[in-house]
Amino acid sequence: MIFFVTGASGSGKTACMPYLRQLLPEVMFYDFDAVGVPPQAGVAWRQQTTEHWLQQAIVHQAELLDTVVCGGALLGEILACPSAPEVNGIAVFLLDCADVVRIDRLRSRGTHGATQDMLNWAAWQRLHAVDPQWRPDVIQQQSAPGMLWARWAGWQRGDPRWQVWLMDTTAPSPKEVAERIADWVHKQQQ
């Protein structure tokens, strides 16, 4: 099984990763960006990287190991990747936080992302998490070759196949976020 822990920049993915590694020693654990992020990374790059991690999960499932990937994957893209049907289970957990907190976190890092565009991206992800029909063009335009959007094109909000768990990371510490994610992983494994 593969578990994606996702969210827009500033949601707490990187902050909780060290704790997650400690709490989930029985799984293969990766940072989505470990493959390297090119300067002009866009939609196609994210989708190709998602496909890379799905292929890695297939290798691990042959070894009877689950995989956790923290980073920018999106459910619609995951399901449309060529290798998705070969994985014996896919689960997605979206981290989100208040806009002001997100901007403060990004500013404190001194890196890119403290923009209105990032807030818009976070808002789109919240809607995508519950409604497959919310602006699918955002991920389908300029997509990577081989993406199979028809797999979920007709799914509507409430479809049990479209399931994303959500956590508001505004107040909890990174350790508390990791504990909640680890608990979710263990429940999904049962």
DSSP per-residue string spanning 41-57: --HHHHHHHHHHHHHHH
Write the CATH number for 6: 3.40.50.300
d(CA 84, CA 1) in angstroms, rounded, equals 11
Whole-prediction pTM: 0.96
Strands (DSSP E) contained in the chain are 2-6, 28-31, 67-70, 90-96, 164-168
Please tell me the distance from the alpha carbon of residue 173 to that of residue 16, in angstroms, as a whole number.
8
Q: How many distinct structural domains can be found in the chain?
A: 1
Pairing of strands 67-70, 2-6: parallel
pLDDT tens-digit series, residues 129-176 = 999 999 999 999 999 999 999 999 999 999 999 999 999 999 999 999
Per-residue pLDDT tens over the stretch 48-99: 999 999 999 999 999 999 999 999 999 999 999 999 999 999 999 999 999 9
H-type helices in 131-173, by residue range? 137-140
Q: Which domain holds residue 17?
A: 2-189
